[in-house]
């Protein structure tokens, strides 16, 4: 059995918690007849979900850049220097100046 990455476990846990809190909030508000708690509960849990999702995508981007650099080295191509890498040319310095 393949071990699940920690970041995927975090994302899955937050997603399940978000779904559970939304369902519980709807059930409790249906029984109580008051929806004022939606203004606080729902944005709070979705902020947590968006933070976890953003972290996961940031981490995946970094991992993919490493994988792409390895493939580029195998093909003999220039590797990237980091996110948003553009082909920047540095002018040669003139030794007579």
45-97 residue pLDDT tens: 899 899 989 988 998 898 889 888 888 888 887 766 655 555 444 445 555 54
What's the pLDDT score for residue 15? 92
Half-sphere CA count of 96, side-chain side, radius 13 A: 0
Instruction: Provide mean pLDDT across the span 14-29.
Output: 90
> Which residue segment(s) compose the domain that 20 sits in?
6-73
For 20, list phi and psi in degrees, rounded to 5.
-65, -40
DSSP state of 28: H
Instruction: Flag whether pLDDT at 32 surpasses 60.
Output: yes
Structure tokens at 40: 């606080």
| Residue 55, domain member (yes or no) | yes
Q: Is 85 among the domain residues?
A: no
- The answer to the question of residue 22 being in a domain is yes
Please indicate, yes or no, if residue 89 is contained in any of the structural domains: no
How many structural domains are present in the chain? 1
């Amino acid at each position: 059995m393949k071990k699940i990455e920690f970041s995927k476990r975090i994302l899955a846990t937050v997603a399940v918690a978000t779904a559970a809190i939304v369902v519980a909030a709807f059930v409790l508000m249906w029984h109580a007849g008051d929806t004022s708690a939606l203004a606080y509960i729902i944005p709070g849990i979705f902020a947590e979900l968006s933070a976890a999702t953003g972290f996961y995508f940031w981490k995946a981007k970094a991992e993919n850049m490493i994988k792409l650099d390895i493939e580029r080295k195998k093909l003999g191509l220039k590797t990237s220097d980091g996110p948003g890498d553009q082909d920047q040319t540095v002018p040669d310095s003139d030794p007579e100046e």
